[in-house]
Structure 1
C-alpha cells in the first residue's frame, strides 16, 4: 500500500481493519518514530526542524512554519500545514485520518489531535475508524486542548486551553475557557 492509496482510503472514513492496512500503519509508525526520535533528542535550528518535519510529513513544509520540539506523531504522513503556522512544544498528532492546519494557526503546548476512534461494541473494538481534523485560517488552539476525529474548526475560531472539542466549531467563535480579555479581538 502506498501513502497515496492510504490517504484516499481514509477519506471514505472506512474502518482500518485489514492485515494490509495494519502492516502499512506499522511501517508508517516505525518511520514516524525514527524521525521524531531524531527531532526530539537534540537541539536543532529552525531550518533543521523544518527539514525533519518535511521528511516526516512527506513534502517540503513552508519556511514560515515554526514548531518547538518535542513533537509526537504515530503516523506522520497525513499532516498538512499552511503558511505562518506555529506549533508549541509537546503536541501529539494522531494523524491517520488527516490533520489539516490552515494559514496563520497557532497551536499551544500539549495539544492533542486524535483522528481515530475505536468501535464501541466488543466485536469492532479492535478496529479503528478515521476522520480528519480540519483547522481553518487563523485558528488558535489553547494549551492542553484535545480535538477529536472529524472536527472542523472554522476560520478565526479560538479553542480555549484544556477544552475537549467533539463537534465542529463555527468561524469567528470561541469555545472553552478563554479569558474575556481575548474575546474582543475576534
Structure 2
C-alpha cells in the first residue's frame, strides 16, 4: 500500500467498499453473544486471515478497515480495543493487549488544505509485548520484543526490546532482564 491516499480517488473508493463490508461484520460481532470460536471466525473474515485458535479476543472489538490487521498466535486482546489498521498493524505471538488500547497506523496530513487526506505508517508489535490498559500507539512505531507499555501511555517513538515504558509521551523507565 502507498504511504498516502487522497480522499475522492478510485483507490479511496475501493477502500470504502471493503470498509463497508467489514463494518457490517464488526457490528455483527459486537451486538450478539459469541463463543471464542465464533469471535475468531468473524475476526478472520474481517482481517481476511485465519485467527489462530490460541488467540483470545474480548468484545467489543473495533477496527476501521480490518484487512491490514495481522494477529499472531496466542494473542490476548481485551475489550474495547481499537485498531486503525489501514496502514498496517502487525501483532506478533504471545502479545497481551489491555482494555481500551488504540493502535493507529493512519494519520491526516498537516497542511490545512490536505487535512482530510490520509498518510500511512505501519505499526509493529513484536513477540511477548504487553500493552496495558488505555495505551495509545501512534503511526509508524515499533514495540520491541518483551517490551511493556504501562497503562495510559502514549507511544510516539519506538520502544526497545526488553524495556518498560510509561508516560505521555512514553519513555523508558526500566530494563527487563530476560
Q: How much does 1:123 deviate? A: 2.3
Per-residue CA shift, 1:83-111, capped at 9, x if unaligned?
10000000010000001000000000000
- Note if contact 2:26-2:62 (Cα within 8 Å) is conserved in structure 1: yes
- Note if contact 2:106-2:119 (Cα within 8 Å) is conserved in structure 1: yes
Per-residue CA shift, 1:2-29, capped at 9, x if unaligned?
xxxxxxx23xx2x111611210121122
Of the three residues 81, 88, 106, the one matched with 2:96 is: 106
Residue 150 of structure 2 corresponds to 160
Of the three residues 44, 48, 57, the one matched with 1:58 is: 48
Can you give the 5+ residue segments of structure 1 that lack an aligned partner in the other structure?
A: 1-8
Per-residue CA shift, 1:130-168, capped at 9, x if unaligned?
011100100000110000100011100000111010111
> What is the DSSP-based 3-state SS (H/G/I as helix, E as strand, rest coil) of the residue aligned with 2:54?
coil
Match status 1:77 vs 2:77 = no
RMSD after superposition: 1.7
Structure-2 change in CA distance of 1:94 and 1:46 (3 Å): same
Match status 1:42 vs 2:32 = yes
Q: How much does 1:183 deviate? A: 7.2
For residues 6-155 of structure 1, the aligned pairs below 5 Å read 9-10=1-2, 13=3, 15-17=4-6, 19-155=9-145
Which stretches of structure 1, 4 residues or longer, exceed 6 Å deviation after superposition?
182-185
- Note if contact 2:105-2:138 (Cα within 8 Å) is conserved in structure 1: yes
- Note if contact 2:162-2:177 (Cα within 8 Å) is conserved in structure 1: no
Can you give the 5+ residue segments of structure 2 that lack an aligned partner in the other structure?
A: none
Query: How many positions carry a matched residue from both structures?
Result: 172
Q: How much does 1:184 deviate? A: 6.2
Q: Distance between the aligned counterparts of 1:73 and 1:117, measured in 2?
A: 15
Q: From the two aligned structures, give the one with the greater strand fraction.
A: 2
Q: Distance between the aligned counterparts of 1:38 and 1:110, measured in 2?
A: 20
> What is the DSSP-based 3-state SS (H/G/I as helix, E as strand, rest coil) of the residue aligned with 1:23?
helix
